[in-house]
A and B are shown apart, each in its own frame.
Chain A
Amino acid sequence: ETGVTQSPTHLIKTRGQQVTLRCSSQSGHNTVSWYQQALGQGPQFIFQYYREEENGRGNFPPRFSGLQFPNYSSELNVNALELDDSALYLCASSTNRNTEAFFGQGTRLTVV
């Protein structure tokens, strides 16, 4: 088991709503990356946070936003939810962006 914890484990939301997912990084890790894993697909990079600053973004619209806190935990916020946002959202933490990233167990988001 990694030291990365995500909450909640499962979540059901209605189209158009907003959602906040949380990630507690492993002790000593200052970098957090978020990935979206659709059913039957590999994870897709959403963005990375390094020392509370966004440090790169994948091909996701601005309604996907994030935060990193002074304790290096992180939030992923998604506004105006769409059905296609249904996926497993994974958080990965690392000591910096160039070292091994450890993934949490993910949050399963279902948009109905």
Chain B
Amino acid sequence: QQQVKQSPQSLIVQKGGISIINCAYENTAFDYFPWYQQFPGKGPALLIAIRPDVSEKKEGRFTISFNKSAKQFSLHIMDSQPGDSATYFCAASKGGSNYKLTFGKGTLLTVNP
């Protein structure tokens, strides 16, 4: 049972464009939704996270939008840069923490110069 569904599987964006990655979850007990960035040969690194008491969180060029009723959340990368090319994972957990994270399958983002 896949509790966190992520789409698209891959995404190609031109430099300066907006990258959008979507995730949907099933377990209504989830209350912590982080996004991770993973470069080849590296472990995942926390990018930005949101809790369901807010509908949007922005940190620099990265924004999470959260829709509790639809059980969906998305990552927007504004002004995408070639250095943003990586695999992005959404995740979810219960208890508002990083404990026992459930990850999506990932999105491979390629930003062309």
Contacts and interface: CB of A to CB of B under 8 A. Distances in A.
Interface of A: 2, 4, 33, 35, 40-45, 48, 56, 58, 90, 92, 94, 97-106
Interface of B: 4, 6, 41-46, 89, 91, 95-106
Contacts of B97: 97-99
Chain A binding site: helix, strand, loop or mixed by DSSP? loop
Max chain A CB contacts within 10 Å: which of B95, B98, B104, B105? B98
A94 B96 CA distance: 15
A90 B43 CA distance: 7
Given A42-B104, A42-B105, A92 B43 contact: yes
Nearest to A42: B103
Given A56-B100, A100-B98, A105 B105 contact: no
A91 to B, nearest CB: 8
